[in-house]
Amino acid sequence: MSKAPAFEHAAEIEASLERLAEVCEDPTSAIYARLFATHPKMQAHFWRDTNGAVKGEMLSRTFEAILDFVGDRRYAQHMIGTEMVTHEGYDIPREVFITFFGIVRDTMRDLLAADWTPAFEQAWGGMLAEMHAYAQATPRTDTSNPYFAARLAEFEAPFAAKG
């Protein structure tokens, strides 16, 4: 017995990615060009990526997360949240991080041109809305949480007394 995909329009997302693979061998440079045009400050974060390997791996993981998010949803919803927090550690605001999925969609739309269908547009719009909801539900790391602040103070107190 097969389990239905987590996302109602999974077939359209998968079809759009398959079509992209048919018309564009490697969309990495186009996607990152759009990212850097949209968020110019992000380009500086890739100063060590001299051969594009980091960008390629990040895009590969993005596609894997998208396929899991619309499919079995074994990990993607958690990965989005944890990667958002991880990227905050790289000084990438979560508000910028979550836009990457839309940048992928917009670039695909351009690359597919006439092959981009209204069904693709609807499916991607719905998926991005669900992803945004997960992002909004992810606890922030850049704010103080009174519950944890009190426990952290209790934990640090013995160390402060010794110092």
At 108, the amino acid letter reads M
pLDDT in tens, 84-114: 888 888 888 888 999 999 999 999 999 999 9
Summarised one tens digit per residue, pLDDT across range 26-59 is 999 999 999 999 999 999 999 999 999 999 999 9
Task: Please give the domain boundaries of the chain with CATH numbers for all domains.
Answer: 10-162 (1.10.490.10)
pLDDT greater at residue 124 or residue 153: 124
Total-model pTM: 0.84
Q: How far apart are CA 143 and CA 124, in angstroms?
A: 31
Half-sphere CA count of 115, side-chain side, radius 13 A? 16
Q: What is the DSSP string of the chain?
A: -PPPPSSTTHHHHHHHHHHHHHH-S--HHHHHHHHHHH-GGGGGGGTT-SSSHHHHHHHHHHHHHHHHHHTT-SSHHHHHHHHHHHHHTTT--HHHHTHHHHHHHHHHHHHHGGG--HHHHHHHHHHHHHHHHHHHHSPPSSS--HHHHHHHHHHHHHHHHH-
